[in-house]
Chains A and B, each alone.
Chain A
Amino acid sequence: MQNEIIFAILALLTIVSSIVMISAHRPIDSALAFIVALICIAALFGLVNATFLFVVQIIIYAGAILSLILFIVMFLNIKDENLPDEKNKNWWLLGTSLIVAPFGAILIDLIVRSDIAVNMVPAEGFGGIKDVGLTLFSKWVLPFELVSILLLVALVGAVTLAKRDN
């Protein structure tokens, strides 16, 4: 029961902050709402005993990436008159959510059918750093390496883009 209440609060916070993130007018509000959403997702990971994902979510997303985004938002020094005029924003939001609704229904159906539960008793060592590491480097080593090559490509791309100006 306790877990369900915590889950409900966290889920509500995640959804509300995600909506705020999409619909906020100023970029800084979006970024801050995004931080709240990410921390709530981290807490949800913690709730299902995925401790390693919990801490990595906070270190990488909430700690590093979002502070870079905020840094850039501050660096650009956007004034209120430079922001785009979003008169029909709410209509757009309504329309797109209607289009996405069938996919949402499929997703909900999937979640209801699957056997994940908030009160699941995890196996010994589930979600800990050792288990995640062993699984990643034995069973999923090829996808892992492919993803790291993808990241390397992005890194090289960023460096070349930055170098082109000089």
Chain B
Amino acid sequence: MNTFLILLPLLLTMLYSLATVPLLVWMERRIAAFIQDRVGPNRCNIGGIRLGGIIQSVADMMKLVFKEEFLPSHIKNKFYYLIAPSIAFVSAFLTFMVIPYADNITVNGQIYYMQALPTELGVLWFLAFAGLGVYGIILGGWASHNKFAILGSMRATAQVISYEVAMGLSLVSMLITYGTIHLNEMVTYQTQSFFLIPAWGVIIQPLATIIFIVTAFAETNRAPFDAAESESEIVAGYHTEYGAMKFGLFFVAEYIAMAASGALIVTIFFGGYQLPYMTTNDLINNFETILWGVIIFAVITSILFLRWMNKNNRFEFSSNGETKIYTTLIIGFTVFTTILMAYYALGFGETHKVGVMILQFVLFTIKLFVLHFVFIWVRWTLPRFRYDQTQKLGWNILLPLSLANIFITAIVVVIGVNYGN
């Protein structure tokens, strides 16, 4: 049990970063398709099971893994060329380490942290390794020995360096507000409320939220800030010369960076793993009531989903009735979880702490995926910024705004400390 609780956050880090990549690729393709009034990939199947198209991204991953690894003959610096994707990947993965997935849990008098690295550095750790990720891009572009690649990597470097400033400054105003750099304490702060409004970061500091989200887009090189790989001008930017799994690592690193900044945005601005108004102790004390709520929610959503699926899921190539299998699985799963939850809700089991922990994981995951949806939505809605527009936005608009925000925040906090109650 002890070892499990120590390893659990590490496992969750793997799950949230690596295992969600195929899911994110699927989300990206399907949402892009719906935004552009298409259907998206939905034919790929294993024995008639399509999972709405997820099988397609699994197939893509398999293709990348088994493709031939070749080295372009003009590459002189093989070591730099080969190490570049790994740097991008590792630093993106390391940024994920400090995100709290649930509140600290005390079992037999010992505290277990639901962060992979319960370091006191908190958000600074994220900034440190988000900054290191750019070396992968620099090295990859430089070692590729290709004009397009070096142009792409120079654009990426300049963009990351200039947006890192605004990102750090918008975080400073959040640190002044919360009075801590521990991500877990930030989440605890956000369970408070003033005048019936939850004290989420997005409500206390709307400007810092906007600046941080914009800079997070730029840091992860996603549209509308993807001038580094703009395929209409410079082929594919810094990964033009990369193929097979070396490209795959860059690709995965981009998604992990996106997931990590999404997780950080959820933690700092959207209440993390907590419900508004409810602290962890409130959750533990009212666990039965909350479980009944979850049961009702689960039953209603699965009934609605089943009706929607039976109406819309058409796949004429399937011989064994794909919809029927899904219906059975969903009904079985819902009945099983409802019975399990009802057992605890009626007060038979005494595992409130673990139950609350699982509830917090679920809340965190839901918020994270809503944010992923926003990332994808923005990418397929806004056109790409021209390179000079990107720089102008970073230095002339976001930087002064975040500085002004720090001043205002500091004044309000000083007045609140000295003259407030």
Contacts and interface: CB of A to CB of B under 8 A. Distances in A.
A8 to B, nearest CB: 24
B142 A67 contact: no
Contact of B158 (A28, A59, A63, A71): A71
Interface in B92-144: 119-121, 124-125, 127-129, 131-132, 134-135, 138-139, 141-142
Contacts of A52: 121
B154 A71 contact: yes
Contacts of B160: 67
A52 B120 CA distance: 9
Interface string A96-112: 00000000000000000
A64 interface: yes
Interface residues of B, number: 26
Interface of A: 28, 32, 35, 51-52, 54-56, 58-59, 62-64, 67-68, 70-71, 74-75, 128-129
Given A51-B119, A74-B154, A67 B124 contact: no
Given A51-B119, A64-B164, A74-B138, A59 B124 contact: yes
Given A32-B80, A67-B161, 5 more contacts: A32-B139, A58-B131, A59-B124, A67-B134, A67-B135
A129 B185 CA distance: 15
A51 B138 contact: no
Given A68-B161, A71-B157, A75-B154, A59 B128 contact: yes
B150 interface: yes
Contacts of A32: 80, 139
Given A51-B119, A55-B121, A70-B138, A63 B154 contact: no
Nearest to B122: A129
B132 A62 contact: yes
Nearest 6 interchain pairs by C-beta: A63-B131, A58-B128, A55-B124, A59-B128, A71-B157, A55-B121
B157 A70 contact: yes
B161 A71 contact: yes
Contacts of B121: 51-52, 54-55, 129
A129 to B, nearest CB: 6
A55 B126 CA distance: 10
A63 to B, nearest CB: 3
A75 B151 CA distance: 9
25 contacts: A28-B142, A35-B135, A51-B119, A51-B120, A54-B121, A55-B124, A55-B128, A56-B124, A58-B132, A59-B131, A62-B131, A64-B131, A64-B161, A64-B164, A67-B131, A67-B138, A67-B161, A70-B138, A71-B138, A71-B158, A74-B154, A75-B154, A128-B120, A129-B120, A129-B124
- Identify which of B80, B141, B161 gathers the most chain A CB atoms within 10 Å of its CB: B161
A63 B157 contact: no
Contacts of B150: 74
B191 interface: no
Nearest to B150: A74
Contacts of A35: 135
A56 to B, nearest CB: 8
A74 B158 CA distance: 12
B181 interface: yes
Contacts of B135: 35, 67, 70
